[in-house]
């Protein structure tokens, strides 16, 4: 017997993130993946223009992804997620190319940054639940040689990360202190999500 109830509604992850998919798979969940088409850059730009916090913007983006898929699959529980990195007031996007990744890491080293990490659940036209986690990571004063070695080792894999590091891989060497759930750092607050899925009747209690 799996972890999900036999009478549970279908579960859909509205994300193209391989990391989020792997987190749910390792938790023993059965789900489909549907990647929404959302203009994230425009939504994020609008959120900043309106003076939203990074956390509010992350929820807005997660809502946009989940709502788009939920309208097409009204019987399913659709999960959307988003993560925004903030360092000393600056919002970071995924780097453009390896030079952009190097610039990201140089900007973050020796400083603490927050990962505003949102997850939402939709069904039909309504949001059923949302959660915002804000892990805080402090990067050590990494020398250029170590940054170059990391980028050479990781290659373009870092381009999928807002911070240009993969904390679940060699990127862990960059940090001297971390606060927050490991899964939330990777992009999905898993423990709060599983608690809600149990309460809603998707996962066995």
- Domains of the chain (ranges plus CATH)? 11-200 (3.90.950.10)
Q: pLDDT 10s digit of each residue in the chain, 205 long? A: 478 999 999 999 999 999 999 999 999 999 999 999 999 999 999 999 999 999 999 999 999 999 999 999 999 999 999 999 999 999 998 999 999 999 999 999 999 999 999 999 999 999 999 999 999 999 999 999 999 999 999 999 999 999 999 999 999 999 999 999 999 999 999 999 999 999 999 999 9
* Burial class of 26 by CB neighbour count within 10 A (0 to 12, 13 to 18, 19+): exposed
Q: pTM to 2 decimals?
A: 0.94
**pLDDT confidence of residue 2:** 73
Cα distances (angstroms) measured from residue 74 to each of 6, 8, 166: 19, 14, 34
Catalytic residues: 82
**CA distance from start to end of the chain:** 13
Q: Spell 29-54 as b/e; 16+ CB within 10 A means b.
A: bebeebebebeeeebbeebeeeeeeb
């Amino acid at each position: 017997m799996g972890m999900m109830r036999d009478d549970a509604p279908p579960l859909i992850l509205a994300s193209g993130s391989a990391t989020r998919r792997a987190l749910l798979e390792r938790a023993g969940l059965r789900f489909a993946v549907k990647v929404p088409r959302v203009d994230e850059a425009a939504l994020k730009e609008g959120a900043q223009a309106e003076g939203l916090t990074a956390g509010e913007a992350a929820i807005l983006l997660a809502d946009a992804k989940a709502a788009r898929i939920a309208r097409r699959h009204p019987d399913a529980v659709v999960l959307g997620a988003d993560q925004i990195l903030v360092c000393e007031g600056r919002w970071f996007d995924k780097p453009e190319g390896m030079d952009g990744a190097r610039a990201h890491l140089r900007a973050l080293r020796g400083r603490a940054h927050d990962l505003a990490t949102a997850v939402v659940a939709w069904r039909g036209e309504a949001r059923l639940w949302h959660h915002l986690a804000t892990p805080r990571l402090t990067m050590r004063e990494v020398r250029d040689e170590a940054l170059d070695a990391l980028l050479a080792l990781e290659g373009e894999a870092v381009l999928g990360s807002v911070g240009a590091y993969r904390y679940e891989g060699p990127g862990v060497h960059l940090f001297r202190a971390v606060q927050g759930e490991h899964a939330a750092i990777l992009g999905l607050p898993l423990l709060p999500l599983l608690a809600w899925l149990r309460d809603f009747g998707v996962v066995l209690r």
